Chains A and B, each alone.
Chain A
């Protein structure tokens, strides 16, 4: 049954939305959180295990220093209080992908508490998102569902469990209820997630690729009549794994809950999930006593002591944070605020920076990533990163242009070829024989032909009216199948006109 939805503008006029985000970031450590099994995406199933990550009887967890250091760095970036003493706790629940049938997480003594993250919105305003905590925990294994439709859990006959991912370190960043978001709820959530992603990447603590599940968020939404009222009952939409999905979930939940409240129905405290195919959230499970995780301090682990000296050491290793970096690059590239924001909003900053590093000019790099490639990505509804073209490819195209080997038109064709999977720019150029015609004899002949075919234009040019120059260039391009260099053509025409 389809949910009733209220018009968004009406919903945010009648109700004050409050959102919350619980984001899981998978750390890119070499080994797992509690055992020295190497972690690698896509290995053979059940080959990245020690007795600890398989939960064998007698095995014991030992904390990975790198995971703690990563957590401290993230805590610093999020302006958190880093607790001198933190503690791991067991979260008890049964699930086939949990090797010990409890997760080791942190409960009342997390490593990072109480911070904030300033995020920049489209119009340049800064919104401060309050952070409740950022704690360390380990991941579960992966289930492959067999016998149902499309590998889904519903209707499956059985599941195959690969515990390779079990024990991979995660940091869960939990916001406080984010108030005062109003009609910008989705925008703020999106900006927060992107900023968080950028920070995590700058810190080099996670690959932070949402499509690989390195980053996923639980999205909480509740409504109340006005900001003076207590919080309403919230829904929790689990494991949303794209920025767009998060934004759409928030908009959808605001509309759905507003419609329910308007009908006098209550909001159920439930977990939901975002369905990309229907663009809706679907009801999951009501909270029950099975959600009593019976947290208690893990007796196999002792208190984690983080000294001030250690925090200082981590501080000294902190890289440039994304906002500083943006300001620096904006200045280096000579961009306006608006141009920079376009780059940020398109998620193109890293790509452009890498393209520049690979030898392209900033203007050229920006033109490609926000132009041809962005258009193609939009059409496919994927992120720029997922497009089959690399910063090195773009830089190569730019170099060919600078060297006069490609003109604008051929360059676009080359990029299109790369996007179509025809290979590197050099391979595409070779395959199609793209090259700027440098044979002036051929161009001269084409110019002569064009002038002869358009005597009226020739007269105008002679009289100093340069407006119809395009007609001649167009005709020459046509004759040379686009391979002539427009500048060279202009030069020859000018010589003829003056001569």
Chain B
């Protein structure tokens, strides 16, 4: 799901570390009672809504400049199906 091709060594090492972290996470579950509301943003704001007015876009050259592989003004993806 994370889309990282981990090696076996890395997987073993990560598992050990994840267990250690899991312990401190138990602390979290202890204090997080049902009566507590979750907070997503630390500062309570309501959304600013942008007017529907266009601004100058990137040029095609600027958009493609960082692309590892491009063709015909587009980004190249290796074949999508297996």
A/B contact in complex, CB under 8 angstroms: yes
Hey, which bits of chain A sit against chain B, CB under 8 A?
Answer: 29-31, 36-38, 44-51, 54, 56, 62-68, 87, 94-96, 143-145, 147, 153-163, 289-290, 292, 294, 297, 299, 301-305
Once the chains bind, are A38 and B73 in contact (CB under 8 Å)?
no
Once the chains bind, are B80 and A156 in contact (CB under 8 Å)?
yes
Hey, which bits of chain B sit against chain A, CB under 8 A?
Answer: 1, 3, 40-41, 45-55, 57-60, 63-64, 66, 71-81
Q: Which of B3, B50, B71, B80 contacts A153 (CB 8 A)?
A: B80
Chain B nearest Cβ from A301, distance in angstroms: 6
Once the chains bind, are A65 and B63 in contact (CB under 8 Å)?
no
Docked CA distance A152–B45 (Å): 46
Chain A nearest Cβ from B31, distance in angstroms: 20
CB-defined contacts of B76 to chain A, threshold 8 Å:
158-161
Q: Label chain A's interface by main secondary structure.
A: loop
Residue of A38, A63, A66, A160 most packed against chain B (CB within 10 A): A160
Q: Which of A96, A289, A290, A299 contacts B80 (CB 8 A)?
A: A96
Docked CA distance A94–B57 (Å): 25
Q: How many A-B residue pairs have CB under 8 A?
A: 121
Once the chains bind, are B1 and A294 in contact (CB under 8 Å)?
yes
Docked CA distance A156–B78 (Å): 9
Docked CA distance A64–B72 (Å): 31
Given contacts A46-B74, A96-B80, A162-B74, contact A54 B63 (CB under 8 A): yes
Nearest A residue to B49 via CB reads A65
Once the chains bind, are A63 and B63 in contact (CB under 8 Å)?
no
Docked CA distance A420–B67 (Å): 46
Once the chains bind, are B1 and A292 in contact (CB under 8 Å)?
yes
CB-defined contacts of B75 to chain A, threshold 8 Å:
46, 96, 160-161, 163
CB-defined contacts of B58 to chain A, threshold 8 Å:
49-51, 54
CB-defined contacts of A161 to chain B, threshold 8 Å:
74-77
Q: Which of A30, A45, A143, A292 contacts B52 (CB 8 A)?
A: A30
Chain A nearest Cβ from B26, distance in angstroms: 21
Q: Which of A29, A37, A290 contacts B57 (CB 8 A)?
A: A37
**What are 12 A-B contacts defined by CB distance under 8 Å?**
A36-B50, A36-B55, A37-B54, A45-B60, A46-B63, A67-B52, A147-B79, A158-B76, A158-B77, A158-B78, A159-B80, A162-B73
Nearest B residue to A93 via CB reads B1
Once the chains bind, are A158 and B79 in contact (CB under 8 Å)?
yes
Docked CA distance A469–B55 (Å): 71
Given contacts A156-B79, A161-B74, A304-B46, contact A30 B57 (CB under 8 A): no
Once the chains bind, are A46 and B73 in contact (CB under 8 Å)?
yes
Once the chains bind, are A143 and B80 in contact (CB under 8 Å)?
yes
CB-defined contacts of A144 to chain B, threshold 8 Å:
74
Nearest A residue to B72 via CB reads A160
CB-defined contacts of B59 to chain A, threshold 8 Å:
47
CB-defined contacts of A305 to chain B, threshold 8 Å:
46-47
CB-defined contacts of B78 to chain A, threshold 8 Å:
158
CB-defined contacts of B45 to chain A, threshold 8 Å:
302-303
